[in-house]
Amino acid sequence: MNAKKDYLDIAEYAVGRAKAAGTAAAEACVTDTESTQVTVSGREVEQMNAVKEAGIGVRVMRDGKMAFGSTNDLSRGAVRELVEGLAAKAVYHTADEFNVIPGPEDGTAAGGWPTGADAELGVYDPMVAETPVQDKIRTALRMEAAGLDADPKIAGSMIAFYQDGTTYTYLANSNGVRGWFRQSGCGGGLELSAADADERESGSFTKVVGRFAEFDPEEVGRKAAANAVAMLGARPIASCEVPLVVSPEIGTQILSFVAGMLSADAVQKGRSLFAGKVGTEVGAKGFTLVDDGRLEGGLDTAPVDGEGIPRQTTVLIEKGVLKTFLYDCYCARKGKARSTGNRSRSGYGSMGAVGTTNLYIKPGTASEEEVLAGIDRGFYLTVVLGLFAAIDSASGDFSIPSAGFLIEKGQKTIPVRGVSIGGNLFQLLKDVDTVGGNLTWFQSVASPTFRVRSVAIAGK
């Protein structure tokens, strides 16, 4: 049995039944997912979940009204019942002139899109799904053991997990969209506690890759241990205003917040600080932000987005100037723009929404040592608490509980905890004066180390 053809046939069957039921247009998305999660503690398995799940989500449009539903029963009878029920219920929804099941006029690829290995830019590794569960359990145990054994000051593990997923996506609509693609990823994370006499600190490290053989559990363990031990002796510093160096991990968290405001949906709903700023300076000359759905080897690379629009490379901020927002077809019609191929789905039960793909700051050429060089006294940021809640979405002002290291004469020195960094998000982006070359990916978001001219530190 050819499962790929079977699932694509089911998607096309759903679309056909919707049209027969009187809808103007319809779309069906089938996802077939295998995932594993292993949690370990104290060198023993604490929990293991292995899930295989497939299902279909269907959108139908009738008289400008959109209805969505889903089921994990892929029999033709169940799919027909779902579709006919949606067609009947659609009339009770609210009409919206911008509702759309996309077609060629919206940018869909005529006749579908190429499938198979030759068309794949993203990552698919059959070993992610085919590796025996016992080997994945051993991987999680090796990761924790590497951390526990890395340093005599490591007192124990707080969180230790391995997880993976493989997804096949099949998409069809009544306007000619037809095709499938596949993606995979795996990784793990570890948080350890370190102790020295009566003092305790924690540190963590997480890594996600596309191929099973690329995941190094010992690397994760060693880095988590190093991060925990490095924080021993952490203490507050006096309040001051100094240069800030942002580590790649915290850089990705800042980017994730910024990306939420670069969604056309957020802009159109009045929830973005970037509204009305296209063509204006919102960052420093050295700050370029890219969303690349076609990045070779990217964890969120695919031939098309969640509604069949080809993925693309979108420069959002170029040399500090805001160029565009991220669009799906609904927001594109509402904003009199073109979709950027950024309709994101989280599975068959999701109708989808605007989302990023592979998001990153364009790296510079400076090493981390060069980023630190010339700072007589500054702060190296490695931990933030509640970043999303700490930034005022109306003004961009922030005060974020933080931890990291004091920088003295170009070197990281004492660990620091119990402080907050304060300022304004726009000013922070405009004050970026050095961007490192060490682009580091955390899942599908990446940042190099970068330096901010000045930030307020609230300490003792």
Give the pair of three-digit tokens for residue 458: 């609230």
**pTM of the full structure:** 0.94
Domain locations in the chain as residue ranges: 3-229, 234-460
What CATH class has 3-229?
A: alpha beta
Express each pLDDT in 263-298 by its tens digit: 999 999 999 999 999 999 999 999 999 999 999 889
Helix (H) or strand (E) holding 258: helix 248-261
Cβ–Cβ under 8 Å, residues 186 and 260: no
**Average pLDDT estimate for 138-147:** 98
State which amino acid sits at residue 371: V
> CA–CA distance from 363 to each of 294, 368, 448 (Å)?
18, 12, 6
Measured CA distances, 316 to 53, 104, 247, 449 (Å):
35, 25, 22, 20
Q: Where does the pLDDT of residue 115 fall: very low under 50, low under 70, confident under 90, or very high at 90 and above?
A: low
- Give the DSSP letter of residue 212: G
Res 111: pLDDT? 65
Model pLDDT, residue 120: 60
Query: CA angle at residue 350 from 129 to 98, to 5 degrees?
Result: 140
State the virtual CA torsion across 15, 21, 26, 29 in degrees, nearest 10: -40
**Of residues 171, 191, 194, the one with CA closest to residue 181:** 171
Expressed in percent and rounded to 5, the helix, strand and coil fractions of the chain are 25, 40, 35
216 touches 397 (CB < 8 A): no
Q: What are phi and psi of 59, to 5 degrees?
A: -110, 135
3-class secondary-structure state, position 180: strand
Question: In the prediction, which pLDDT does 109 show?
Answer: 74
Q: Across the strands, what pairs with 322?
A: 317
Q: Tell me the pLDDT tens digit for each residue of 344-395.
A: 999 999 999 999 999 999 999 999 999 999 999 999 999 999 999 999 988 9
Taking only the tens place, the pLDDT of each residue in 180-235 is 999 999 999 999 999 999 999 999 999 999 999 999 999 999 999 999 999 999 99
Q: How many angstroms separate the CA atoms of 228 and 238, rounded?
A: 23
